[in-house]
Amino acid sequence: MNDPVAFVAGLKLLGAGLAMLGAIGAGVGVGIAASGGVQAMGRNPDAANIIQTNMILGMAFAEAVAIYALAVALIIIFAA
């Protein structure tokens, strides 16, 4: 801890790692959406096209959170 530059660099990497915790929630959300969509299509195959469209849209919104977390982590590492 005698080198303040190395200490700040370490804290930046720790902050970037903490920022990526948002990817965990996105992964869980995508998994739940896929599970629910497959179950719904199995129960009602006639509505598979509508269910699949809504499922993919929901997955895209959940994945956007992971992309935002990645962008924040990269900003912390390289721009801050």
pLDDT, one tens digit per residue, over 31-76 is: 998 999 999 999 999 999 999 999 999 889 888 989 999 999 999 9
* pLDDT-derived band at 1, boundaries 50, 70, 90: low
Q: How far apart are CA 56 and CA 2, in angstroms?
A: 51
3-class secondary-structure state, position 1: coil
Counted domains in the chain:
1
Where residue 16 sits, what CATH number does that domain have?
A: 1.20.20.10
pLDDT in tens, 3-36: 899 999 999 999 999 999 888 888 898 899 899 9
Type of residue numbered 32 = I
Global pTM exceeds 0.85: no
Q: How many helices (H) and strands (E) does the chain have?
A: 3, 0
Q: How far apart are CA 55 and CA 41, in angstroms?
A: 10
Instruction: Domain of residue 31: give its range.
Output: 4-78
Q: Identify the pLDDT of residue 25.
A: 87
Q: Identify the pLDDT of residue 29.
A: 86
